[in-house]
Amino acid sequence: MRFREYLILWLGLLAGLPAAAQHLAPVAAPAASAARYWVTFRDKAGQTLQPSAYFDPAAQARRRRQHLPAADSTDFPVRPDYLARVQALTDSVTLVSRWFNAVACRATAAQAARMRLLPGVRSVETWPERPMLPAGAHQLQRPAVPPAGSPAPLSPADLVLARRQTAVLGATGFRQAGQQGQGLRIAVFDVGFRATDTHPAFAHLYRRRAIAATYDFLRRTPDVYRGGSHGTEVLSCLAGQLPDSTFLGLAPAAEFLLARTEQQGSELYAEEEAWLAAAEWADRNGADIINSSLGYTDRRYFPEQMNGRASLVARAAAIAVRKGILVVNAAGNAGDDPRWRIVGTPADADSVLTVGGLAPDTFLHLSFSSYGPAAGGRLKPNLSAFGVAITAVPGGFERVEGTSFASPLVAGFAACAWQQQRDLPVMALFARLQQAGHLYPYFDYAHGYGLPRAAAFSAAGQPAAAPDSTFDFLVADSAVSVIIRPEAAVVPAYSLPLEAVAESLDDSNAAAVGPLAPLYWQLRDASGFITRYEVLEVSQRAILRVPLRQLPAGGTLRVHYRGYTASFSAL
């Protein structure tokens, strides 16, 4: 054994001595040899917490409404003696997590070996690595570059879209009921909020001091008004306002927590750490909802890792939900990327409400919107909204594209729905939101349960009337056909869940409200996995014919048309 190996072994044994002796142990190592490690501790023995001193009153109120304890062990601080021993070995601790009882740090392999011998250390793991592909779609935002000039004035078509992006979700009904997010606190995690504090679209928020707290978790400062403007655009779809007083989102009366967790082209591990730190901060500061128009895919993970457990952010999101916070996340913009296509993380987590993008002219899946299922066949996305929207940008307003904007539109919907039933447990709300989808109980891997409807919450606790049958199955010549019923064959000017939208628009704009009602169909195997699905334009009553031999063994043909869903099972 060489002298250096003896030295490393001796230092490893020394690491087990009391903290007072450990200041002699560290050995400097070249920075280039350092890697990221996740150090998990065994316990929090001796640690306590005074909830009223640690949590914002809004957080305390949320826990009471959700029937949660005032605090639990995941809220207790990390033991300072454990933390000090790690810091004595490496001075690059980048995150201390109460939720995971862990720290993230940079260390050499030798330092990591010594940390494994420290008292109280359960495990020391390196961050999972994968070969770096060319820059992919790990971030959902558009490049954060300053605009070349002032945005062009909005066109008449843009102004129609500005009204429709909320009208299709039931803005009129929510507004008439006085539901615009009052009493809700929404955290927005993003790449930056440039110009948010000076943009007239948000003046109403600052006048009433509705920005409850801000923090940049990359630069570690309360100033979030630097970096990209993607967060400004996302916040627009929650609470932005046009000069004519049109609101661009459904929750202009909510309060907001603004967290900068991302930067364009940054080191990906730091971004996941920042997301976790922001989630703990949002919990402490009373967030009811987290909107995360961010995600990670092929620059860090393989598709099979999108299982809701592999990534730090997916696990962090799951803990946030257990603490009574609804987490709403964009599905991603990789739908037309052959290398990936599926939802990213944390959108892959079971308890995260994942939102896909719809085209405003057809109300169907946008090609770039990421598909489900998540790994293991789990249903994703959960819901959909317009993936093309009008938002505030520095200097004005602009039409933008991405599931980044569908997500806050649905988060605002959730705020209004939750305002109706403030004591509803978070996962009960999650289920109700899915049931509000205009396709429910039909589901596919492009649209989820569809566009949520405010009408589904207008009579809380009242069962919805069963929809009238709109089609029949006919078996003949070794095939099953779908035949539209005569009374349903006359298609209205607007598809069924969107008829009320016309009432909120001028007659001159009515033709732009929505498409003719399409027919959705799918094949499912015996386990419920969707093996094929399609959307058809209805041009005749005999709209679909499927040979029985194409039905999976023990599987079903499932069809949705104008609010009615039915299944056919082969014998």
Q: Which residues are catalytic?
A: 190, 230, 404
The two tokens of residue 354 are 């994942």
Q: How many CA atoms lie within 13 A of 551 on its CB side?
A: 22
Amino acid at 483: I
Length of the chain: 571
CA distances from 484 to 449, 469, 519 (A): 22, 9, 10
506 exposure class (CB count in 10 Å sphere: 0-12, 13-18, 19+) = exposed
The two tokens of residue 146 are 């300053």
CA distances from 179 to 7, 66, 418, 452, 458 (A): 67, 20, 9, 16, 11
Conformation bin of residue 181: beta by default, left when phi > 0, alpha when psi is -120 to 50: left
Q: Is-contact 76 47, C-beta < 8 A?
A: yes
Q: Which of 481, 509, 506, 467 is nearest to 568 (CA)?
A: 481
CA–CA gap between residue 249 and residue 166 (Å, rounded): 6
The two tokens of residue 534 are 């399609």
Cis peptide before 80 (omega within 30 of 0): no
First CA to last CA across the chain, in angstroms? 72
Place of tokens 């703990």: 280
The two tokens of residue 42 are 């065994």
Q: How far is CA 529 from the centre of its chain?
A: 23
Q: Is-contact 444 525, C-beta < 8 A?
A: no
Q: Rounding to the nearest 10 degrees, give the CA dihedral for residues 384, 389, 391, 395.
A: 150
Q: Is-contact 387 405, C-beta < 8 A?
A: yes
CA–CA gap between residue 170 and residue 186 (Å, rounded): 20
Cis peptide before 338 (omega within 30 of 0): no
The two tokens of residue 112 are 């990591």
The two tokens of residue 22 are 């450990």
126 has which bridge partners? 37
The helix/strand/coil state of 442 is coil
- Per-residue H/E/C for 184-248: CEEEEEECECCCCCCCHHHHHHHHCCCEEEEEECCCCECCCCCECCHHHHHHHHHHCECCCCCEC
